[in-house]
Amino acid sequence: MEKFYKEVLMNGIKDMVFILKVVNDDFRFQFINTAAMERLNLSKRIVGSSIMDIEPKEKAKFLYNQYSKVVEIQNSYTYEDVYEENGKKYYAETVLSPFFDEKGTVDQIIAVVRDITHERNTFTNAMEMLNELAESNERYHSLFFHNTDGIFILDKMGFISDGNEASEHITGYEIRELFGKSLKEIIDKEDTGNFDNLINEAVKGTNQSGNLLFNNKNGEQVNIIFKIIPLFIDEKIIGLYGILKDVTEQIQSINKLEESEKSFRIIAENAHDLITLINKDGEITYVSPSYKNILGYYQQEYLNKSFLHNVHTDDQERFLEIVQNSISSGEPFTIQFRQKNAEGHMIWCESIGNPVFNHNNNFQHLVVLTRDITLRREYEAKLKYFAYHDSLTNLPNRLFFKEQFALAKEQFLTSNTPLALILLDIDYFKLINDTYGHDTGDAVIKEFGSRIKSTIRDHDMVARLGGDEFVILLSNIQSSNNAIEIAERINDTIQLPWKLNGHTLTVTTSMGIATAPSQLIFTESSLMKKADIALYEAKKSGKNCYKLYNDNCPTPSSYTNKKTKL
pLDDT (tens digit per residue) in 496-517:
999 998 898 999 999 999 988 7
Query: How many Å apart are CA 240 and CA 237, to the nearest integer?
Result: 8
Query: How many Å apart are CA 186 and CA 195, to the nearest integer?
Result: 11
Select from 150, 136, 160, 255 the least CA-distant residue to 207.
255
pLDDT band at 87 (very low <50, low <70, confident <90, very high): confident
pTM of the model as a whole: 0.43
Query: How many Å apart are CA 339 and CA 314, to the nearest integer?
Result: 10
User: Are the CB atoms for 160 and 391 separated by under 8 Å?
Assistant: no
Query: How many Å apart are CA 320 and CA 543, to the nearest integer?
Result: 63
User: Are the CB atoms for 544 and 564 separated by under 8 Å?
Assistant: yes
- Element containing residue 277 per DSSP (H, E): strand 274-279
Q: Report CA-CA distances (Å) from 384 to 109, 347, 379, 380, 400.
A: 11, 19, 9, 6, 11
Query: How many Å apart are CA 251 and CA 445, to the nearest integer?
Result: 81
User: Are the CB atoms for 199 and 191 separated by under 8 Å?
Assistant: no
pLDDT band at 31 (very low <50, low <70, confident <90, very high): confident
Query: How many Å apart are CA 376 and CA 388, to the nearest integer?
Result: 19
Condensed to tens digits (0 to 9), the pLDDT of residues 117-165 reads 877 776 666 566 656 655 656 665 566 666 777 788 888 888 888 888 8
What share of the chain has pLDDT > 90, as a percent? 27
The residue count for the chain: 566
Please list the active-site residues: 468
For the chain, the farthest-separated pair of C-alpha atoms sits apart, in whole angstroms, at 126
Condensed to tens digits (0 to 9), the pLDDT of residues 91-125 reads 888 889 998 888 888 889 988 888 888 777 766 66
Cβ count within 10 A of residue 357: 14
Cβ count within 10 A of residue 361: 7
User: Are the CB atoms for 80 and 91 separated by under 8 Å?
Assistant: yes
Q: Are strands 236-244 and 461-466 parallel, antiparallel or unpaired?
A: unpaired
Query: How many Å apart are CA 334 and CA 368, to the nearest integer?
Result: 10
DSSP-H helix ranges across 370-479:
374-388, 398-415, 429-436, 438-455
Cβ count within 10 A of residue 487: 27
Query: How many Å apart are CA 13 and CA 2, to the nearest integer?
Result: 16
What is the reported pLDDT for 565? 29
Cβ-defined contacts of 45-52 (< 8 Å, 24+): 50/26, 51/20, 51/26, 51/27, 52/26
Which residues does residue 151 pair with via DSSP β-bridges, in sequence order? 243
Domains along the chain with CATH numbers: 2-115 (3.30.450.20), 148-246 (3.30.450.20), 269-377 (3.30.450.20), 389-548 (3.30.70.270)
User: Are the CB atoms for 188 and 213 separated by under 8 Å?
Assistant: yes
